[in-house]
Structure 1
């Protein structure tokens, strides 16, 4: 799906199916309850979702906050126009906005957010790009940064391969299997992260690279 000439219909189906897949496996409900909801109040809390893709995580978090009667403003950014195009076609959700941008643009603008997050982004990056992402996250996050990513595992590879066989006409299965192969072990991610960042356990077959101000 990263190829610029990939089938647009399959790509749209992939963004559409990501919502169900992420709800099932990525662990954001637990992260919302443990990491985000304690920060929320009637005053807006701001979140930046870097590499937001089709926008499902941003929308999911905002809807949970709305159901809890809390105020959450989520900005999703992605440099890929196809991803942002899909996100902007979503039905509007209060407190969610999307823009095609790289995190460097927000730094130039002097933007700051209470929390910076990403989902399944780290394994896509070269070592240099990972360093840039973490540097930018530290500059953009007022309170904490949480990068949720896959943890490489043979069992995860086998289970995901079987579980995604029924998903039709999308890149979910092939992209997911490639992502698991590319992802870090906890020791590898710890070694790659600069001082101040900590690798924490996440949902099954997931890990969080976290930076906390307090």
Structure 2
């Protein structure tokens, strides 16, 4: 472990990213994402802080979820909007065909569209959104890839729109907390999935607030949140 988390270990690879990984374990991992993200990613805060202020009277609010994985976040946002009587269109993209295939096998949620695509594909198509978000994507990226994602995010925004990329912050406390919290769940709720092993690898791959701020271009700011969370934000 690189200097006990003193440096980002971008050489690590998560098991679920292996094209040859166990498909049943991968499916169980996608199925558990909703529970894990509800516990650590505060999706309700994302909805209140970033979706609601962009609701328009004359058209649905358009949201893009980049690297959607099992699509638990867009489904949650669409259901919250339906509960509040808000018109919303959530486009959920991922370049991984296994993720999109798994998400498409679920019961559809009105307002959510799934696409096997990258953010650059939507830029080329001339798509625009009120909100561009991602969850647990940044730690997968090298500095060059991060720069490309942020530039594409800016080009995808409608006037007054915002981009919010949310991820883990690398820290010893966060690593120990996740390791201890998931250990008793490994033989039960997380059994047969990659959640614990990949979660620990994700923390080791993640950025600190200072690293992310240094890597981001002008116009972006880093916001800290608990527990061990970061938001990289571009907003008016």
Aligned residue for 1:147, secondary structure, equals strand
User: 5 Å matches for 1:1-214?
Assistant: 1-41=16-56, 43-142=59-158, 143-165=161-183, 166=185, 167-212=190-235, 214=236
CA RMSD of aligned residues (A): 1.0
Q: Unpaired segments of 5 or more residues in structure 2?
A: 1-15
1:30 Cα deviation from its structure 2 partner: 1.1
8 Å contact 1:65–1:71 — kept in the other structure? yes
Work out the CA distance in 2 between the residues paired with 1:182 and 1:6: 20
1:202 Cα deviation from its structure 2 partner: 2.4
8 Å contact 2:50–2:131 — kept in the other structure? no
8 Å contact 1:41–1:70 — kept in the other structure? no
How many residue pairs match? The answer is 213
TM-score scaled by length of structure 2: 0.88
Cα deviation code 1:6-63 (max 9, x no counterpart): 0000000000000000011101211211221122245300000010111000101111
TM-score scaled by length of structure 1: 0.97
Q: Unpaired segments of 5 or more residues in structure 1?
A: none
8 Å contact 2:220–2:232 — kept in the other structure? yes
Work out the CA distance in 1 between the residues paired with 2:99 and 2:43: 20
Work out the CA distance in 1 between the residues paired with 2:134 and 2:146: 12
8 Å contact 1:72–1:95 — kept in the other structure? yes
8 Å contact 1:153–1:205 — kept in the other structure? yes
Rg comparison, structure with higher value: 2
Relative CO higher for 1 or 2, CA cutoff 8 Å, sep ≥ 6?
2
